[in-house]
């Protein structure tokens, strides 16, 4: 197994989930409300050592004192610091899993950390992983953690996918490693192998822990919609189909039809660019309307090249359309290329061909190129 080198990770910041966590408990617990005397020492300790708010500290202290207070929580704190965890990573880790303060470092915590380090995660990278998925430290080492990670590592094509899939905290709680291998083997028999299998693992991990009958049903649905076994597009269709319930899926297809496409045309668009349906209905409808009603792109172009609906309107579509319209209005183009051809160009090539080339009008073209806010698209 050869892993690709990960890019350096950015400093950890509180996620939206963490903010929701703080908001939730700030609304139901006020400082020291219902805090009994036995809570006070651990509250003070959490405040001073982890920089938690008193609201957080009260909540965490109650989780801890349901059984007993940790005998020496400083040892756990110092251990995490020693192996390279940042203050914010430790705070996140303890707020999500306060029971870790009970850990006996030598007997339970260190062996698990050692095993994770053997998988290639150390220092702040390991801290980032565990701050996102502290559940890994609650697994029995030989009973669950070792077989699970060794199984996932067989499927993951590179370290980046391996890291991403381990961060999915809920995906592996009840997963049986043999079921993961069986589902992986079935998907490989359908032609989803190598980097495609690894991508599916990191993006849709529940397909590997779900009952095999459910995975087979998803593959059957994909085949019935036009994806072929052993084709490179099957994995993309399967990822989208399994990523939303059938009601929502059908509603998005119906929305596209309501924009003027037949059922067959809509299915052609989906099978060519499955990720199209990952977009919200509102955003996808707006993009279709911009292309058909504002830019006046032929409907056949969207049917045959639905991938352009994945492009950013703000950063690519509207700026290039404005530039092309200005060039046409000034009769500067010998030939009027299709807008689809303009969209396909790499950024450097577009700037060279449609802006830098016209030095006498470069300032006006650049102004049109930068005036790409969507509120301007209707003017």
CA dihedral 63, 65, 70, 74 (to 10 degrees): 60
At residue 136, the pLDDT reads: 93
Same domain, 17 and 94: yes
Cα–Cα distance between 82 and 105 in angstroms, integer?
12
Domain of residue 369: give its range.
313-376
Cα–Cα distance between 130 and 142 in angstroms, integer?
18
The secondary structure of the chain in percent helix, strand, coil, rounded to multiples of 5, reads 70, 0, 30
Same domain, 146 and 267: no
Specify whether the CB–CB gap between 234 and 228 falls below 8 A. yes
Same domain, 46 and 2: yes
Q: In the listed set 260, 285, 304, which residue is the last one of a domain according to the structure?
A: 304
Specify whether the CB–CB gap between 253 and 266 falls below 8 A. yes
Tell me how many domains the chain contains: 4
Same domain, 116 and 20: yes
Q: pTM of this prediction?
A: 0.78
At residue 14, the pLDDT reads: 36
Cα–Cα distance between 120 and 126 in angstroms, integer?
9
Same domain, 4 and 98: yes
Same domain, 131 and 155: no
Same domain, 328 and 341: yes
At residue 30, the pLDDT reads: 40
Q: In the listed set 195, 214, 243, which residue is the last one of a domain according to the structure?
A: 243
Same domain, 325 and 364: yes
Same domain, 119 and 149: no
Angle subtended at Cα 104 by Cα 113 and Cα 166, rounded to the nearest 5 degrees: 30
Cα–Cα distance between 338 and 328 in angstroms, integer?
12
At residue 68, the pLDDT reads: 53
Cα–Cα distance between 313 and 290 in angstroms, integer?
9
Cα–Cα distance between 114 and 130 in angstroms, integer?
13
CA 133, 139, 141, 145 dihedral sign is: negative
Tokens for 194? Answer: 């190598």
Same domain, 220 and 274: no
Same domain, 67 and 82: yes
Same domain, 47 and 157: no
At residue 32, the pLDDT reads: 40
Q: In the listed set 284, 304, 324, which residue is the last one of a domain according to the structure?
A: 304
Specify whether the CB–CB gap between 197 and 187 falls below 8 A. yes
Per-residue pLDDT of the chain (379 residues; tens, 9 = 90+): 444 333 333 333 334 434 433 343 333 334 444 544 555 667 777 777 777 777 777 777 776 655 455 566 788 889 999 999 998 999 889 888 888 887 889 889 999 999 999 999 999 999 999 999 999 999 999 999 999 999 999 999 999 999 999 998 777 777 889 999 999 999 999 999 999 999 999 999 999 999 999 999 999 999 999 999 999 999 999 999 999 999 999 999 999 999 999 999 999 999 999 999 999 999 999 999 999 999 999 999 999 999 999 999 999 999 999 999 999 999 999 888 899 999 999 999 999 999 999 989 989 999 899 875 444 444 3
């Amino acid at each position: 197994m050869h892993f690709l080198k990960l890019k350096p990770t950015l400093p950890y910041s509180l996620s939206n989930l963490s903010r929701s966590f703080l908001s939730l408990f700030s609304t139901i617990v006020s400082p020291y409300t219902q805090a009994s005397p036995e809570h006070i020492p651990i509250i003070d300790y959490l405040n001073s050592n982890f920089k938690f708010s008193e609201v957080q500290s009260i909540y965490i202290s109650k989780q801890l004192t349901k059984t007993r207070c940790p005998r020496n929580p400083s040892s756990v704190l110092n251990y995490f610091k020693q192996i390279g965890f940042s203050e914010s990573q430790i705070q996140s880790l303890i707020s999500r899993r306060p029971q870790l303060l009970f850990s006996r470092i030598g007997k339970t915590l260190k062996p698990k950390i050692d095993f994770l380090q053997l998988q290639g995660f150390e220092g702040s990278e390991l801290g980032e992983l565990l701050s996102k998925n502290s559940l890994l430290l609650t697994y029995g080492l030989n009973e669950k953690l070792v077989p699970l990670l060794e199984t996932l590592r067989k499927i993951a094509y590179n370290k980046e996918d391996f890291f991403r899939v381990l961060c999915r905290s809920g995906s592996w709680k009840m997963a049986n490693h043999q079921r993961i291998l069986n589902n992986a083997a079935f998907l490989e028999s359908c032609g989803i192998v190598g980097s495609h299998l690894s991508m599916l693992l990191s993006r849709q991990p529940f397909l590997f822990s779900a009952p095999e009958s459910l995975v087979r049903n998803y593959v059957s649905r994909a085949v019935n919609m036009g994806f072929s076994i052993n084709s490179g597009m099957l994995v993309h269709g399967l990822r989208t189909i399994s990523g939303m319930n059938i009601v929502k899926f059908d509603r998005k297809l119906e929305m596209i039809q309501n924009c003027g496409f037949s059922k067959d045309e809509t299915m052609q668009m989906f099978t060519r660019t499955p990720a199209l349906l990952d977009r919200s209905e509102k955003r996808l409808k707006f993009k279709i309307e911009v292309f058909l009603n504002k830019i006046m792109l032929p409907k056949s172009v969207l049917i045959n090249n639905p991938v352009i609906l994945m492009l950013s309107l703000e950063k690519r579509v509207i700026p290039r359309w404005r530039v092309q319209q200005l060039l046409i209005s000034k009769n500067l183009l010998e030939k009027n290329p299709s807008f689809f051809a303009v969209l396909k160009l790499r950024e450097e090539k577009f700037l060279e061909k449609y802006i830098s080339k016209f030095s006498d009008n470069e300032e006006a073209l650049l102004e049109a190129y930068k005036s790409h806010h969507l509120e301007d698209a209707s003017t």
